Structure 1
Amino acid sequence: MGSPDLFPFVTTTIAPTMIHGGSAACNVMPQDMTAVINFRLADGDTVESVMAHCREAVQDKGIAMRFLQANEPSAIAKRDGYGYRRVVESMQRYFPDVVFIPSMTAGATDAHRYEEICDTCLRCSPFMTEPAEAAAEAASGVHGTNERLLVRSYLQGIRVLIDLMEHANVEP
């Protein structure tokens, strides 16, 4: 793959988010340690397949694993549907030079909560930045310490979401 930044969009990723343990001395191994590890499952993986891979990786190491929370990967959204067309139309009104293509969401969303009542859950972010700004935000902005978004990106994103809501219930 050409860019490591694209890797999370095509495969299951892992993010150790909380690690506890240690000892009083720098040369003594801790007796106990816990870690919370967040897996973001790509289409084609399952909670059980990821857990089986982890069990195999740590077999015979005396490591116990359990789920705190687990969700199967969300269904792939239909790109030929009414909802997808409405999202693209709203985005194109504000970002006419951008080509919109379906892709995987690199992080978890609440969309899985709606799958029982909705056959297509679309995830999109109208909070766009310029490439140089995006690199800076990735380093310290969204999901970083002092999480933030540029004011102009925030305001533009709100305008897009209002536009989407105003046009979403138009009959196909």
Structure 2
Amino acid sequence: MSLIEASTKEFGNITVFLHSLGSFCYRIEWYSKMTGASISLARIKKGKYIVIRKWAAIRGLTDVSTEFDRANQAFIHLLNNVDVVKGKDDLIVAAKQHCVNLFAKSEGLKPISKPSLPKPRLQGAIGKQVVVKSRLGNSQIAQGMLLQLIGNQAEIQVNPEHIEAGQLRQKFYTKQVFIC
């Protein structure tokens, strides 16, 4: 794996890297100096992509990965799970735009001039302690660390006292969590 120097760019406390993994494979990495965490989209081979979140060592969390067979799904997952902690909105949008440009170039797509880059509602809570409540909001279902957003699900590393059926990591269909 080699870093492609001309593609490395800093946006405040965010750095975006492009790594070459061979002739047709690449890795786009979003690193947050504020959290010490990174998230990467890697094209392993044609039709196989993986998005990996690496937490800061001090957090003591194991890495989270999700596999995809379509580039667009993997890329949207990457953008929905990047760290936005204490980042200015204009710098976050510029960093996401840079990722869009790197992705389009790496996939051999036409340049994407005006992408829609909404900030998912739960994105600022990634890596924080959260509470998941029932749809009516009257009872607590689980409490733990929000690890990633997968479509309309939130994956949470549940606190030991809230574990059901021995699963440390659980996915919940929700668009709302409450920060502790």
Relative to the length of structure 2, the TM-score reads 0.28
Query: In terms of Rg, which structure is larger?
Result: 1
Which structure would you say has the larger RCO, counting Cα contacts within 8 Å and 6 or more residues apart?
Answer: 1
Between Structure 1 and Structure 2, the one with more helix by share is: 1
Between Structure 1 and Structure 2, the one with more strand by share is: 2
